[in-house]
Structure 1
């Protein structure tokens, strides 16, 4: 007999509650301890349902999950893109919830099998994150369960296998909680000893790692990172050159530091110069004058044009020489920095699509800057901090410190900047590199490979961090095995679903 409507009446709100917890688990609220309850409540709401009814509950849970914690997207382009994005991500989310419920009904796990089912549910959750992070158009590499944990001791899991392994660990805790509640009594109850041992390993491992994870730097370099507090939004209509002037003004704070005469690298954020110094002689003169006064190479964001194409770029500038290297953003944000399949999507939202008249081209160069003979920096731009492949390329390319240059001005006083800073904090642990997260308006901070904060600036104020930043050259397990774990997890998730599908057909 099918599920009665009254049962869905409590299951749908329970699933929605699981999704709503994202509002409080992610920064800024950052109540990280409740993160495992998100998959736990969604499992409790769907286990026992058939595939399509579970998909329905998953659809509602997913919409609440995304809209509750990425509402800042509406500040940029309004509610339509937010709903469109949440609905697109819901495609993956709802289907994965349905697949997990289907697996539970076909498997009918008992005793020790319940723990293995919890592992399978965590695998499916993590595989769903992988799909959403990469498809379509490069995906939306945000909203991973692991991104709730920058301030938690659990963040040390990223040292071993990156953000995906941390998501898996949290989803597994949630899965064990759910099956424990559903099967805590009776002769087929979950094996509590095995479950407790698994939970203990999941908690104790990062606690021990947090104590032991204290890598030795190869040297230190003095980095000056400037937050200009500029209205640098993509659609801001300020006087040309005003964003550059904001950052020139804020850079005067460098000279108030006792380290001002020892600076090895000056760093400005993404879009810090709204005049391209490669084409504007006056901008080039001002930039070179500052670099000469500081007495150090200078990296900053600007929009460049080459061969009729526009690029979101970061330049490396030598005092008295000019631009000696550059990096173009490899993964511009779809529907914000470029519009894929423009003619098709314009049929649905012509006004919104026309707001991005000229998209940025995709960069093809690596982000490795040879600052000096003994100083190699790796740079990335804005949302690329959430892209696994970008970080792996920088570390394998020899980066000894990561520069995350970003422009958060479009998102106002929202959670976005804290969520992005939290990702940067996790990346420091994952890569074994200090991460200089420098924004036009904040939150700007320097994170160490232990996850600790070396320096931080108040958002929406001019500021400069002038710090001796440690450089590192080692390789963390995550940089070696993180991609392997993602591949293995994909095979495991698809394999177990396929295996039970085949078993059903044979029966």
Structure 2
């Protein structure tokens, strides 16, 4: 890998220099470097979480792009993207087959190709690692927005939940963390190339002059890490609005796989029964009385607003625990919109508030390109039926006043979207709840990957995060991003913990999408500058050629 990082030195501007055998060797090194970059980057995510590999992976990525043209940058970037997304997203083929998995990986890998184009372009500018890191942020930002409202899973920052760079999330959110990691990696690649270039020089004077150029890339490599260390005191964890005792209920599902939806009543009963068990433990003095209780997404797939039996089961469980309870359910009227809903259920007043999930998961809760998808699934897996009606999004952030806690609701898929979490905190949340349902993904790393995102959000916004999942992993995350307690997969359990309530907002919360917009604009502007400069040069060259011909004639 080290040879791949330094394959193209500053004295070698393009692969077409040298004999054909050297050109082929460089091409092979670039391809291997791109593949290694994607594979190593995937290891920074669960189940491995080797966060320190991210700068090395991005150094390999930058090295593969160095000295290449835009077209080659896209191809190499796409290869890196496939090597990254295929292992990262293996959970997507758990029950729907390999074709959707590969298609999704290829779609998302195209954004790595876009990053490759931009990084190949800005590599010609002074301070190239800075512009390259900004370009990386721009490509990730675009991937988080399109198509189908975006797919932000796999953002570099989400692989830093246990890493050195996490503290930067409180200053500039996911974008700043991604920029710092990329800058460190791209600075490392530049430093490696310059070290090789210095060693190749023969005269002492020239070697000394070349060695001086090592200072800038060395600084670019070290500064992001130092900034992350300096940001550690900025991560607030104290209880500004007191504390509450929170209980997370994981009722589990009757069996693995999609079939659990056919056993909706069993899932509801599991959560009600586990809540009553906790109430018995409280009465016996084995557990403290909770102030708030969180049930997961889809804890009741039976609409309690339409079915009296579901209403009765939920109400009896909430009365038993005697605490305001958040219940994940569905609104399924005979006609009209279906909603993935979270209900604030009071032990005395019953349902008092609702939140409708705003970020609806494509190809899970809604079906874009319905005709095409139906045709493909009919061939790939005919047993999967495309539903007639789709979930519709809500239109406002959800913050429930549950006793002394203002609990912000970010349902499952929404936790990956910066703006959904940000506006929930700005709406007054003093603690965040992430009710989730990952039962359909079995024993894969999906739940761990989602928990890592919640850890990043905790630091980004300075809030404790309560992750309640039907089948796991449920967890209590402190405002510092530390997992205080967690459950195992597919195990009925209840977590009880005292959590701090916080009201001040971090700089990242106040800035919102600002850092992402600024960094993305810098990357796009830098790439555009190179493109415009190239167009101007070609025009001047053509004009000079015409003038030369006229003089000769």
Q: TM-score range by the shorter chain?
A: over 0.9
Partner secondary structure for residue 394 of structure 2: coil
Deviation at 1:281, TM superposition (A): 0.9
Q: Does 1:296 align with 2:307?
A: no
Q: Does 1:207 align with 2:226?
A: no
CA RMSD of aligned residues (A): 2.1
Match of 2:304 among 277, 285, 290: 277
2:331–2:338 CA contact under 8 A, matched in 1: yes
Output the CA distance in 1 between the equivalents of 2:164 and 2:109.
Answer: 30
Deviation at 1:203, TM superposition (A): 1.6
Specify the alignment match of 1:359 in structure 2: 390
Partner secondary structure for residue 36 of structure 1: helix
Alignment of structure 1 residues 226-237 onto 2, 5 Å: 226-230=249-253, 231=255, 234-236=258-260
User: Which deviates further from its counterpart, 89-98 or 402-411?
Assistant: 89-98
Output the CA distance in 2 between the equivalents of 1:189 and 1:501.
Answer: 31
1:180–1:190 CA contact under 8 A, matched in 2: no
- 1:290-323 Cα distance to aligned partner (Å, 9 max, x none): 1111111111111112452211111111123221
Specify the alignment match of 2:339 in structure 1: 311
Output the CA distance in 2 between the equivalents of 1:87 and 1:316.
Answer: 40
2:34–2:60 CA contact under 8 A, matched in 1: yes
Deviation at 1:348, TM superposition (A): 4.5
Output the CA distance in 2 between the equivalents of 1:330 and 1:31.
Answer: 32
Partner secondary structure for residue 134 of structure 1: coil
User: Which deviates further from its counterpart, 393-402 or 37-46?
Assistant: 37-46
Deviation at 1:371, TM superposition (A): 1.8
Larger radius of gyration: 2
Alignment of structure 1 residues 111-150 onto 2, 5 Å: 113=126, 116-150=127-161
Cα distance change of structure 1 residues 18 and 335 upon mapping to structure 2, 3 Å threshold: same
Deviation at 1:235, TM superposition (A): 4.5
Deviation at 1:201, TM superposition (A): 2.9
Alignment of structure 1 residues 380-419 onto 2, 5 Å: 380-419=410-449
1:155–1:426 CA contact under 8 A, matched in 2: yes
Match of 2:484 among 451, 454, 472: 454
Partner secondary structure for residue 303 of structure 1: strand
Structure 1: give runs of 5+ residues left out of the alignment: none
- 1:390-411 Cα distance to aligned partner (Å, 9 max, x none): 1111111000100000011111
Alignment of structure 1 residues 60-79 onto 2, 5 Å: 60-79=79-98
Alignment of structure 1 residues 316-335 onto 2, 5 Å: 316-335=344-363
Match of 1:478 among 493, 502, 508: 508
Cα distance change of structure 1 residues 447 and 240 upon mapping to structure 2, 3 Å threshold: closer
- Give the alignment's TM-score, normalised by structure 2: 0.86
Specify the alignment match of 1:505 in structure 2: 535
Cα distance change of structure 1 residues 94 and 74 upon mapping to structure 2, 3 Å threshold: same
Deviation at 1:282, TM superposition (A): 1.3
User: Which deviates further from its counterpart, 469-478 or 320-329?
Assistant: 320-329
Match of 1:153 among 116, 139, 164: 164
User: Which deviates further from its counterpart, 448-457 or 30-39?
Assistant: 448-457
Q: Does 1:342 align with 2:337?
A: no
Deviation at 1:253, TM superposition (A): 4.0
Partner secondary structure for residue 25 of structure 1: coil
2:194–2:214 CA contact under 8 A, matched in 1: no
Specify the alignment match of 2:497 in structure 1: 467
Q: Does 1:427 align with 2:457?
A: yes
Q: Does 1:246 align with 2:270?
A: yes
Q: Does 1:222 align with 2:245?
A: yes
- 1:204-250 Cα distance to aligned partner (Å, 9 max, x none): 23223335534431111111111112148554354340001111222
User: Which deviates further from its counterpart, 341-350 or 417-426?
Assistant: 341-350
Q: Does 1:29 align with 2:83?
A: no
1:260–1:294 CA contact under 8 A, matched in 2: no
Output the CA distance in 2 between the equivalents of 1:214 and 1:52.
Answer: 45
Specify the alignment match of 2:72 in structure 1: 53
Output the CA distance in 1 between the equivalents of 2:311 and 2:348.
Answer: 10
User: Which deviates further from its counterpart, 219-228 or 340-349?
Assistant: 340-349
1:253–1:463 CA contact under 8 A, matched in 2: no
Partner secondary structure for residue 90 of structure 2: coil
2:15–2:27 CA contact under 8 A, matched in 1: no
Partner secondary structure for residue 332 of structure 2: strand
Cα distance change of structure 1 residues 388 and 207 upon mapping to structure 2, 3 Å threshold: same
- Give the alignment's TM-score, normalised by structure 1: 0.93
Specify the alignment match of 2:548 in structure 1: none
2:188–2:221 CA contact under 8 A, matched in 1: no
